[in-house]
Chain A
Amino acid sequence: MKIRISIFISIVFLFATGCKKQLDLTPQSEISDLTFWQTSSDFELAANWFYLNTLDDPHYSGTNNSDNMSDLAFGTDIDPVSSGTYVAPEQDNNWDNPYSAIRNANKLIEKGQGSSIKSSILPYLGEGYFFRAYNYFTLFKLFGGVPIINQVLLPTDSMVFDARAPRDVVMDSILSDLNIAIAYLPAKSDAGTGRICQEAAEAFKARVCLFEGTWRKFHASGDGDTLLDQAIAEAKHVIDSKSYALYQGKGASSYRYLFIDQTSENNPESIIAKKYRTNINVNGWAYGVSWGNLNPTKQAADMYLCTDGLPIDKSPLFRGYDSCRSEFYNRDPRMTQSLILPAISIIRPQYDTYRPQWPGVDNNRNENSGYMLYKFISEEPTPGNGGGEFDWNDLRYAEVLLTYAEAQYERNGGISDADLDLSINVLRDRVNMPHLTNAFVTAGGLDMRTEIRRERSVELAFEGFRWDDLRRWKTAETTLPQSLLSIDVVGTQWANPVITLDGNSYNSFFYNTPSSQLQNGFKVLQPGTQRTFDPNKNYLLPIPTKQVALNPKLTQNPGW
């Protein structure tokens, strides 16, 4: 019997051990890294990832790139960065996400450089370098010098715990990557539709060089001129390539329609764009923007020139604040294309008929500043079936022109009328504003630097440039601590309980504003006493505290 038992037990184990290989399975849904990276289309797929996942869209991602962080706009709540109350966070996507993208870029570069088909994948390899630079620049702008990780790491690699590289080393690394990208990428005419091309990399490099060139100049931290020279050169190269032009398709309203009417591949002004299409990639920003997440302040409204080319404090054409509409008269047309004239009728998301616009009514839900944003407001009641289908222009040609003008001025302490005509006056022409010339500046008692900066702020208003600009100009310390103001209440039409415009009556949300909330008659959104800016601290954001705790070599930015 014992023999029989052992026979049966043997049978049992024979049966079970017959197929040791049954545990060796292969994945059916994902591809192994070992078998990928064989063909050109593999590299294309890898390069594609960066477009969706790293191209910045401040209204969608909403992180640290919105003009709510500056003096030009105010959202539904006080912005801690803008008002200086920001506390070092434990975790920050602005730190984590770029490194995740850099890891993917490193992989693409590593595999591409070692590939036997390198010559046929140069465009994608170039995109790898471009997006690595793009993500380092995101980190650089916010935090300054950061650890440079240019290889695919494992948790066991000591480089994971590297210290921060100095600011100039990071900048050199970014420029080096961009130079390789420019070398590898095809010219726009040869590049795939919508893909990063040589001119796009040059335009981006101009942005980087202007940022750090002016930063070095105003923060007295090194040689800015070399960078400004490169900014001028790259911008000029883009201009001369004639690959791009300003969008003029809607006549006098082209400026407003540029953001809502054109798919980027048909828009001559678009250089780098995040794309949204129904059924492919949608987001909610057409609604979000429409709901008052970005309300213009008095500071924004006041920067628009009068139609004579003079600022409101100098121009006789300025009509003051007495009526709800008076300040909008005789102004740079970009004002009424960026801000809604009270009580005009428009169509907007979720509204199928023309309705008069009024602060606090319909989707102008956030009445706090009294100004209503018009820029980016779609005219379709249901844009993209639940999502925006308007591309976000991350880098458009107008910025290249402004970069050229500013870099020229800051490099040389002046700018020629010819260069102004090549840049700023192209923008002025689109909106029928008088040209900016050295003579006009002198005659009007103006300051050329102020006017160049004004032009940039007006043209790029609410697109997420302002906070970066204030920091690199080193003017944030004076601009940001001031009270954020909304419309003028005292002695104006807004002080009436009911306001009649265009035959309709509207409740004023401002008629009984207590005097404690007023400053020179303007309603205060946030008093200056609640806003601070420490020049030794606030020009950079803090590194997330957990990262500092995890890596002893990672030093925190000063003041935080």
Chain B
Amino acid sequence: MEKILFPFRTCRIPLQKMLLIMKLTIVLLLAGCLQVSAKAYSQNDVKLSLDLTNAKLKKAFEIIERNSHYRFLYNSATIPENLRIDLHEKDILLSDALDKIIKNNGLIYKIINNKVIAVTSAGEMMQTIHLKGDVVDSTGNPLQGITITVQGLKSGTSTDAHGHFEIEVPDNAVLEISSVGYQSQLVRVTRDMPLHIVLREATSGLDQVVVVGYGTKLKEADLTGAVAKIDGEKLESRPVTGTLDALQGLVPGVAITRQSGQPGAQNYQLSIRGTSSINGNVPLVLIDGIPGDLSLINPQDIQDLTVLKDATAAIYGARAADGVILVTTKRGKRSSRPNVAYNFNLAVKTPGMMKKATPTDHFVKMFNEANKNDGDPQTFSDSTLAKIASHDPGVGQGENWSLQSYPMFYQSRNWYGDLFKTALRPTHNVSISGGGENSTYVMSFGDTRDNGNIAFGDNASVRDNLRIDMQTNLLKNLKLDVSTAYDYLNIRQPSELNDAIDNGLKVFSYVPLKNPEGNYYGYQGYENPVQELTMGGNETITDSRWSNNVKLDWEPIKGLVWTGQIGINLERYDDNAYDATNEEHNWDNSINSLIRNNPNSATYRNWSSVYKNFSTYVNYGRLIGRHDIKLMAGASREKFTKEAEYMAGAAFTSNDIFPLYLSDPSNLRAGDPVNWDDDPWALESYFGRASYSYAGKYYLEGTLRKDGSSKFSPEKRWSEIYPSISAAWKISGEPFFRDLVPSNLVTLFKTRASWGKTGNQDIPTLGLFDYIQLINISGQYPIDGSTVSKMASLSGIASPDRTWETIETKDLGFDLVLLQSKLSLSFDVYRKNNNNMLVSVTYPSTLGASAPTSNAGSLLDKGWEFNGSWNSKIGAVRFNVGIILNYNTDIVTNLQGQDVYNLGLTQARQGYPLDSYFGYKGSVIRSQAQLDAYASKYAGKGIVPATQPNGYGGLGVGDVMYQDVDGDGQITTYGDKTKGHNGDAVFLGSQIPKLTYSLTGGLKYKGFDFSFILQGTGNKYVWRGNGNFGVPLGEFWFQPLDYFYGKTYNPTNTNAEYPRLSNNGTIKGNNYQFSSLWLENTRYLRVKNLTVGYTFNGLQISKLKLRGVRVYVSGQDIFELAKGTWGHMYDPEETYVPPITADPTNTAYYENNYPMYRAFSFGVNVNF
């Protein structure tokens, strides 16, 4: 019919486009101009050189496609098979060429959107339709940013804030309407009529694309392994400090715990399906393919996050033994005008559960009760009790033990509670993203100022994240992706923060803050915590990381993509601490000569590191009939180098600023390499994957990986080739299944199985050069009495024989999607076995050093995961609920017979879970008869004191008795194993819960949305120590926690939970042995998050048109049902997981830990 020719203009090559986009982006960044749209490229005709001899027309089209950016669209049936073309032209205009090969052969063509050349026969109607339409979700709300593409072409558009779109399409074209989170739809265009498209949410995520590593993407429905994916938007609107915080409770099998509420130092612990080694391994986190840190990345930058939990992680080899988390950051969208988003959140943090020492009246009563139990005179007189009750403002003669020469006050001050206040945490994020036809860009900047809850001194952290990414097609088959991120964390805190928190509990409640002259009062040796915080100096920690990631994808042949990637991360860490001298005052206002931090001092510690990662891989995929084959092979090299410095100065002439040159030169000291080593490591890896699927029903995938690590001797350096294999069967794809079950009842039914082995060398206890006998030169000692001498000693025993730990994982699971995708269920059972775990084999001490660990242990993790969700709507209300359950047990199955454990926490013992508590089984003696029966057998033997009527620490009614588990007639921890007695310290429970679970849900109605996350754990145990505060009156010079008031045995409280109070060392020694009596189960169910929001679409504020505005209020950690918190004094999540190198029985954490907080926030998200 009629040929409509659009004017051609010269087309620029893609590189120039990229430069243009870069320029535009820079303009955007600099000017902050928000309404510039990047379009209107010139459309001049291109020139081609064609040399066609007897070529088929389709071949001619292919050649033109390869040499221009145009694509041909035609119906094969309309192109005559026998048509042959001869054309030999140099620099012919495309329009001329098209005329010659198309028009002259009786066909007509039309160029659409300067991109597509639609070819048809004269007989066929050839029309370009200017199509208008809108896209709404199932509740009728317009959807913005929905991508509309013409199938087979790369052209497309996206919807505006009202869900509208307009596009030129050839008649009979098929439109694909898609967006993350929605089920794609295909619409055949037949008429120039407005389209109204309703997109259903991709509830089961079956169509979502999941990145499984090294360039391979699979649809979720096609996965063969245990892989979980989380969309970035789920992390966005929670009032949290970071990604780890936000992830809690969202991924089955991923456990996240935190230890503190201290800004910038929450100390999150992340594990996937338990842990794979007693050596404290952690999951590998890759940000766009390069190892990174989840705690520092801005959650707003995350597009999605994939967790590889089983053998599918094996492709990452060397460091993947504990699973892999793949983070994909946000990219701009092609052919979209700039999208500017601004998010603001203001969180109000209130201190959560906090320890509380006894008020003065409870303290003196408990002390007097202890005196009575010990047969000692009453320490606090009755008149003192009366004065305390009446808040007598006077100052009396000292009565408290050891403090008789200090004044006695009658007030009660909550020292600890007064140290904390409500604090604000504002967060700003701004991002600009968009793209042209061949390139995309995104720039985001986030700033979080996290103010600490401590009420005195300067305590805050600032996190800034700047991320820029640009992607462009250098050539049509060569794609460049350049991203750079700068992550900055700055923490300011008083140098003596932890000490001050500790002292907050230790100062007696009756001691005033200041003396009558208004100066900080120092009461005997108790350091005034408020003064410590305000005058003791400051510490600043700055961690700056600059990550650069350049990735090139080249597709020389359709289906074959070569990728080269270079990641370079620079990190600089500074920790500068100043200890300023300060003076306390006595009550009479004289200066106390206990001068703190005298002389003043400062430490400067810093290190900088360079991490380089070079990787390259080739992906090839081909669909042959119903056989889908994907192959990948690659290699990578990684190297890490570090330089560290550690300087300390003392006796600075200034007490306000601490530059090193102001210190006394004779006091300058360099630190030890023990603390700040700068040793390098390197890894080299080869890997490959092959996957095959048939007809979308049968899936098979295998991977191989081999690594070399610098941490082992040259002979043991290379790992074996670690394999993994996984398979899936989509039963719902089988005709017989479809005959039995209608597809609207069961959308998907798939079973999966996987097996794999992974090598592990990322082991914290493995030194970087353990295969060489090293001489450690460190320490300082004044041999001549004045100058520093260093010392050299043998650094352990070299281990040339050590090699990789091997972790074997097995997984069996199924996925079920039911009732038109309303209900999704998935279930996995798994086993993870570390077969040659590095463990210490104990030799006689005559060896003179600990033998190096050897690959002789084993650890078994096993468990199951369940994930279920229901998405539906009632009327206009859409809602979803989800449940996640994970049950995991770990057992140390072999430690080569070495059986080291202690009372309290033990990290690893053969036959028991990791981080288990061992102790006596104790109970309170409640009658004389009980005492007599017990004492006749055990008194004076083992740990049990003799009975005496009073004094000498005699055992009495109200004390604790212990079970003689091994029946050797005495109560001992270990027994004498050479005589077959295993002692009486038995397994009492583990710190790690077996069951973790969460419930999530939400609903949407018009603009309103509501969501919640509940998260909890099964039994987990904690022991808070038998020293200062884990037991009442552990030391007479510290006030007990008020929790114990009224809960101790005395003749009028014979059913008390805890033994009688005492100040007698022997009695306390007996009662405060670590036993079941002091172990707390801290299982909990917590409302992690509640959010209510409202979204305004297309809001017009005077002249500013906003695409979308969402306002919300949200609460984090707002309520819980918890056990073992000691009357809301300890947060149930507050569990100290000691690093592998730390003393597990050190419970000081429970005294000086920064309390957790609850956060309530208001936020607004604006899209321009």
Contacts and interface: CB of A to CB of B under 8 A. Distances in A.
Contacts of A46: 775, 791-793
B673 interface: yes
A472 B950 CA distance: 36
Contact of A99 (B524, B846, B852): B846
B775 A32 contact: yes
B794 interface: yes
Contacts of B737: none
Chain A's interface size range is: 35 or more
Chain B's interface size range is: 35 or more
A1 B555 CA distance: 12
Interface in B779-807: 779-786, 788-795, 797-798
Given A85-B940, A550-B843, A27 B404 contact: no
Contacts of A49: 779, 791-793
Interface stretch (A399-407, A429-437, A540-548): A540-548
Contacts of B682: 22-23, 25
Contact of B769 (A11, A30, A192): A30
Nearest to B952: A526
Interface string A13-54: 101110110111101111111101000001001101101110
A471 interface: no
A277 B785 contact: yes
A548 B846 CA distance: 12
Q: Which of B376, B777, B945 has the most CB of A within 10 A?
A: B777
A280 B788 contact: yes
Interface string A66-87: 0000000000111000000101
Interface stretch (B22-30, B172-180, B241-249, B632-640): B632-640
A189 to B, nearest CB: 15
B617 interface: yes
Interface stretch (B593-601, B746-754, B820-828): B593-601
A88 B976 contact: yes
Contacts of A95: 845
Nearest to A148: B846
A160 B635 CA distance: 45
A276 B667 CA distance: 15
Interface string A242-285: 00000000000000000000011110000000011101110000
Interface in B510-561: 524-525, 556-557, 560
Nearest to B769: A27
Contacts of A31: 774-775, 777, 792
A76 B1067 CA distance: 12
Interface in B228-261: none
B842 A550 contact: yes
A3 to B, nearest CB: 11
Contacts of B782: 194, 275-277, 280-281
Nearest to B642: A28
A549 interface: yes
Interface string B297-329: 000000000000000000000000000000000
B920 to A, nearest CB: 15
A154 B798 CA distance: 9
A560 to B, nearest CB: 9
A112 interface: no
Contact of B637 (A16, A193, A360): A16
Given A8-B618, A193-B785, A352-B592, A100 B774 contact: no
Interface string B659-688: 000000001010001000111111110100
Interface string A85-102: 101101000011001101
A517 interface: yes
Contact of A104 (B772, B793, B949): B793
B779 A517 contact: no
Nearest to B674: A29
Given A4-B556, A32-B775, A361-B404, A161 B792 contact: no
Contacts, number: 301
Contacts of A24: 710, 714
Interface string A487-513: 000000000010000000011010111
Contacts of B667: 279
B792 A514 contact: no
Contacts of B598: 382, 385
A516 B780 contact: no
A115 interface: no
Contacts of A16: 614, 616, 635-637, 684, 686
Interface in B817-873: 841-849, 851-852
Nearest to B636: A16
Contact of B594 (A20, A88, A276, A382): A382
Contacts of A159: 846
Nearest to B1037: A365
A29 B673 contact: yes
Contact of A103 (B781, B789, B849): B849
B402 interface: yes
Contacts of B402: 360-365
B774 A32 contact: yes
A164 B686 CA distance: 53
A149 B848 contact: yes
Contact of B633 (A9, A149, A263, A514): A9
A34 to B, nearest CB: 8
A107 interface: yes
Contacts of B848: 99-100, 102-104, 106, 149, 152-153
A486 B942 CA distance: 26
Contacts of B560: 1, 4-5, 8
B380 interface: no
A486 to B, nearest CB: 11
Q: Which of A16, A42, A263 has the most CB of B within 10 A?
A: A16
A8 B977 CA distance: 64
Contact of B781 (A36, A280, A381): A280
A155 B618 contact: no
B106 interface: no
Contact of B847 (A76, A107, A160, A356): A160
A36 B952 contact: no
Interface string A513-553: 11011000000111100100000000000001111111100
B680 A154 contact: no
A417 interface: no
Interface in B758-788: 768-769, 772-777, 779-786, 788
Contact of A22 (B403, B684, B792): B684
B873 to A, nearest CB: 49
Contact of B717 (A23, A51, A352): A23
Contacts of A547: 844-845
Contacts of B977: 90, 545-546, 549
A243 B949 CA distance: 57
B951 interface: yes
A507 B788 contact: no
Interface in B51-103: none
Q: Which of B594, B782, B794 has the most CB of A within 10 A?
A: B782
7 contacts: A1-B557, A16-B614, A263-B785, A265-B786, A497-B377, A517-B950, A545-B977
Interface of A: 1, 4-5, 8-9, 11-13, 15-17, 19-20, 22-25, 27-34, 36, 42, 45-46, 48-49, 51-53, 76-78, 85, 87-88, 90, 95-96, 99-100, 102-104, 106-107, 147, 149, 152-155, 159-162, 192-195, 263-266, 275-277, 279-281, 350, 352-353, 355-356, 358, 360-365, 381-382, 385, 391, 497, 506-507, 509, 511-514, 516-517, 524-527, 530, 544-551, 554, 556
Given A100-B845, A159-B846, 18 more contacts: A12-B618, A12-B635, A30-B775, A76-B1065, A77-B1069, A90-B974, A103-B794, A103-B849, A149-B848, A153-B848, A155-B797, A281-B780, A363-B402, A382-B594, A517-B950, A546-B977, A548-B978, A554-B844
Q: Nearest 7 CB-CB pairs, A to B? A: A103-B848, A16-B635, A352-B593, A29-B673, A45-B792, A33-B773, A49-B791
